[in-house]
Amino acid sequence: MAERRLRVGILGATGAVGQRFVQLLEHHPWFEITALAASSRSAGQTYGEATRWILNTPLPEALADRVVLPADPEALAGTCDIIFSALPASRAREVEPRFAAAGFPVFSNASALRMEPDVPLVIPEVNPDHLALVRVQQKRRGWSGYVVTNPNCSTIHLVSALKPLHDAFGLEAVIVTTLQALSGAGYPGVPSLDIIDNLIPYIRNEEEKIETESRKLLGRYTGDGVEFADIRLSAAVHRVPVTDGHTEAVVVKLKRRATLAEVKEAFRTFRGVPQELGLPTAPDPAIIVREEVDRPQPRLDRDAGGGMATTVGRVRPDPIFDYKFVLLGHNTIRGAAGASILNAELALKTGYLD
Amino acid sequence: MAERRLRVGILGATGAVGQRFVQLLEHHPWFEITALAASSRSAGQTYGEATRWILNTPLPEALADRVVLPADPEALAGTCDIIFSALPASRAREVEPRFAAAGFPVFSNASALRMEPDVPLVIPEVNPDHLALVRVQQKRRGWSGYVVTNPNCSTIHLVSALKPLHDAFGLEAVIVTTLQALSGAGYPGVPSLDIIDNLIPYIRNEEEKIETESRKLLGRYTGDGVEFADIRLSAAVHRVPVTDGHTEAVVVKLKRRATLAEVKEAFRTFRGVPQELGLPTAPDPAIIVREEVDRPQPRLDRDAGGGMATTVGRVRPDPIFDYKFVLLGHNTIRGAAGASILNAELALKTGYLD
Amino acid sequence: MAERRLRVGILGATGAVGQRFVQLLEHHPWFEITALAASSRSAGQTYGEATRWILNTPLPEALADRVVLPADPEALAGTCDIIFSALPASRAREVEPRFAAAGFPVFSNASALRMEPDVPLVIPEVNPDHLALVRVQQKRRGWSGYVVTNPNCSTIHLVSALKPLHDAFGLEAVIVTTLQALSGAGYPGVPSLDIIDNLIPYIRNEEEKIETESRKLLGRYTGDGVEFADIRLSAAVHRVPVTDGHTEAVVVKLKRRATLAEVKEAFRTFRGVPQELGLPTAPDPAIIVREEVDRPQPRLDRDAGGGMATTVGRVRPDPIFDYKFVLLGHNTIRGAAGASILNAELALKTGYLD
Amino acid sequence: MAERRLRVGILGATGAVGQRFVQLLEHHPWFEITALAASSRSAGQTYGEATRWILNTPLPEALADRVVLPADPEALAGTCDIIFSALPASRAREVEPRFAAAGFPVFSNASALRMEPDVPLVIPEVNPDHLALVRVQQKRRGWSGYVVTNPNCSTIHLVSALKPLHDAFGLEAVIVTTLQALSGAGYPGVPSLDIIDNLIPYIRNEEEKIETESRKLLGRYTGDGVEFADIRLSAAVHRVPVTDGHTEAVVVKLKRRATLAEVKEAFRTFRGVPQELGLPTAPDPAIIVREEVDRPQPRLDRDAGGGMATTVGRVRPDPIFDYKFVLLGHNTIRGAAGASILNAELALKTGYLD
CA distances from A112 to A39, A94, A203 (A): 17, 9, 17
d(CA A109, CA A91): 12
A232-253 confidence digits (pLDDT tens): 999 999 999 999 999 999 999 9
Among A302, A326, A304, residue whose Cα is nearest residue A315? A326
d(CA A307, CA A302): 6
Report whether pLDDT(D272) > 90. Answer: yes
Complete DSSP assignment for A67-132 = BPEESSHHHHTTT-SEEEE---HHHHHHHHHHHHHTT-EEEE--STTTTSTTS-B--TTT-GGGGG
CB A335 within 8 A of CB A348: no
Among B118, B300, B100, residue whose Cα is nearest residue B225? B118
D171-216 confidence digits (pLDDT tens): 999 999 999 999 999 999 999 999 999 999 999 999 999 999 999 9
Return mean pLDDT, chain D: 97
Count Cα neighbours of B64 within 13 Å in the Cβ-side half-sphere: 6
For C186, name the nearest residue in chain A, comparing CA atoms only: A193
d(CA C184, CA C248): 14
Residue B64 touches chain C, beta carbons under 8 Å: no
CA distances from A171 to A228, A289, B205, C247 (A): 13, 19, 29, 54
Residue A192 touches chain C, beta carbons under 8 Å: yes
CB A21 within 8 A of CB A86: yes
From D191's Cα to the closest Cα of chain B, the distance in A is 5
d(CA A168, CA A254): 9
From A211's Cα to the closest Cα of chain B, the distance in A is 9
d(CA A275, CA A177): 29
Residue D202 touches chain B, beta carbons under 8 Å: no
Chain B residues in contact with C57 by the CB 8 A cut-off are 303
d(CA B245, CA B300): 10
Question: Best interface-test mutation with D: which of C231, C238, C248 has the largest number of D CBs within 10 A?
Answer: C238
CB D10 within 8 A of CB D69: no
For C305, name the nearest residue in chain B, comparing CA atoms only: B57
Q: Which residues of B are catalytic?
A: 153, 246
pTM equals 0.96
Lowest pLDDT segment from A86-90, B124-128, C2-6, D140-144: C2-6
Q: Within chain C, which residues score under 50 in pLDDT?
A: 1-2
d(CA B47, CA B98): 23
Return mean pLDDT, chain A: 97
Cβ burial, residue A115 (10 Å; 0-12/13-18/19+): middle
**Strand C310-317 with C323-329, pairing:** antiparallel
- Phi, psi torsion values for B277, nearest 5 degrees: -80, -10
Residues 6 or more apart whose CB falls under 8 angstroms from that of B260 comprise: B315, B316, B317, B323
- Is the CB of A197 less than 8 angstroms away from the CB of B249? no
d(CA C236, CA D318): 10
Chain D residues in contact with A303 by the CB 8 A cut-off are 56-57
Neighbours of C167 (CB within 10 A): 13
Chain D residues in contact with B192 by the CB 8 A cut-off are 182, 189-192, 194-196, 241
Please provide the distance, in angstroms rounded to a whole number, between the alpha carbons at the two ends of chain C.
Answer: 11
Residues 6 or more apart whose CB falls under 8 angstroms from that of B226 comprise: B117, B121, B130, B133, B216, B219, B220
CB B158 within 8 A of CB B339: no
- A173, A177, A240 member nearest B240 (Cβ): A240
d(CA A318, CA C242): 39
The strand order across the sheet containing A82-85 reads A69-70, A31-38, A6-11, A82-85, A105-108, A146-149
- B199, B294, B320 member nearest A242 (Cβ): B199
Residue A326 touches chain B, beta carbons under 8 Å: yes
Which one from D130, D157, D166, D246 is the annotated catalytic residue? D246
Complete DSSP assignment for A122-185 = --TTT-GGGGGHHHHHHHHHT-SSEEEE---HHHHHHHHHHHHHHHHH-EEEEEEEEEB-GGGG
Among C91, C78, C75, residue whose Cα is nearest residue C15? C91
d(CA C97, CA C141): 9
Chain A residues in contact with C298 by the CB 8 A cut-off are none
Residue D201 touches chain C, beta carbons under 8 Å: yes
D300-354 confidence digits (pLDDT tens): 999 999 999 999 999 999 999 999 999 999 999 999 999 999 999 999 999 999 8
Helix (H, G, I), strand (E, B) or coil at C261: helix
Chain D residues in contact with A196 by the CB 8 A cut-off are 196-197
Question: Best interface-test mutation with C: which of D174, D180, D193, D200 has the largest number of C CBs within 10 A?
Answer: D200
- C182, C196, C197 member nearest A193 (Cβ): C182
Residue A243 touches chain B, beta carbons under 8 Å: yes
CB A335 within 8 A of CB A329: yes
- Is the CB of B300 less than 8 angstroms away from the CB of C54? yes
> Rounded to an integer, what is the distance from CA A341 to the centroid of its chain?
9
Residue A2: its pLDDT value, please? Answer: 45
Which one from C153, C157, C166, C330 is the annotated catalytic residue? C153
- A196, A197, A299 member nearest D56 (Cβ): A299
Report whether pLDDT(D155) > 60. Answer: yes
A308-342 confidence digits (pLDDT tens): 999 999 999 999 999 999 999 999 999 999 999 99
d(CA A240, CA A182): 7
Among B78, B92, B94, residue whose Cα is nearest residue B17? B92
- Is the CB of C192 less than 8 angstroms away from the CB of A242? no
Residues 6 or more apart whose CB falls under 8 angstroms from that of D205 comprise: D111
Residue D297 touches chain A, beta carbons under 8 Å: no
Question: Best interface-test mutation with B: which of A212, A231, A238, A318 has the largest number of B CBs within 10 A?
Answer: A238
Report whether pLDDT(D2) > 60. Answer: no
- Is the CB of C175 less than 8 angstroms away from the CB of D175? yes
Residue A1: its pLDDT value, please? Answer: 46
d(CA B41, CA B50): 9
Residue D196 touches chain A, beta carbons under 8 Å: yes
Residue C1: its pLDDT value, please? Answer: 45
Residue A242: its pLDDT value, please? Answer: 98
Residues 6 or more apart whose CB falls under 8 angstroms from that of B211 comprise: A319, B233, B234, B235
Q: Would you give per-residue pLDDT tens digits along chain B (354 residues)?
A: 446 899 999 999 999 999 999 999 999 999 999 999 999 899 999 999 999 998 988 999 999 999 999 999 999 999 999 999 999 999 999 999 999 999 999 999 999 999 999 999 999 999 999 999 999 999 999 999 999 999 999 999 999 999 999 999 999 999 999 999 999 999 999 999 999 999 999 999 999 999 999 999 999 999 999 999 999 999 999 999 999 999 999 999 999 999 999 999 999 999 999 999 999 999 999 999 999 999 999 999 999 999 999 999 999 999 999 999 999 999 999 999 999 999 999 999 999 998
From A184's Cα to the closest Cα of chain C, the distance in A is 10
Chain C residues in contact with B300 by the CB 8 A cut-off are 54, 56
CB C108 within 8 A of CB C340: yes
Element (H, E) at C325: strand C323-329
Cα dihedral sign, A290-A294-A298-A300:
negative
- For residue C221, give the amino acid letter: Y
Residue B3: its pLDDT value, please? Answer: 61
Chain D residues in contact with B183 by the CB 8 A cut-off are 193
For B327, name the nearest residue in chain A, comparing CA atoms only: A201
- Is the CB of A191 less than 8 angstroms away from the CB of C192? yes
d(CA C204, CA C207): 8
Crossing angle of helices C133-141 and C89-101, in 10° steps, is: 80
**Dihedral class, residue B309 (left if φ above 0, else alpha if ψ from -120 to 50, else beta):** beta
CB C164 within 8 A of CB C345: no
Q: Could you tell me the domains of chain B?
A: 6-152+337-349 (3.40.50.720), 153-331 (3.30.360.10)
d(CA A24, CA C177): 38
CB A17 within 8 A of CB A332: yes
Element (H, E) at C85: strand C82-85
* DSSP-assigned beta bridge partners for residue B236: B177
Report whether pLDDT(D60) > 80. Answer: yes
CB A272 within 8 A of CB A286: yes
CA gyration radius, chain A: 19
CA distances from B331 to B86, B89, B239, B339 (A): 14, 17, 13, 10
From D193's Cα to the closest Cα of chain B, the distance in A is 6
Residue A339 touches chain B, beta carbons under 8 Å: no
Residue D56 touches chain A, beta carbons under 8 Å: yes
Count Cα neighbours of B276 within 13 Å in the Cβ-side half-sphere: 12
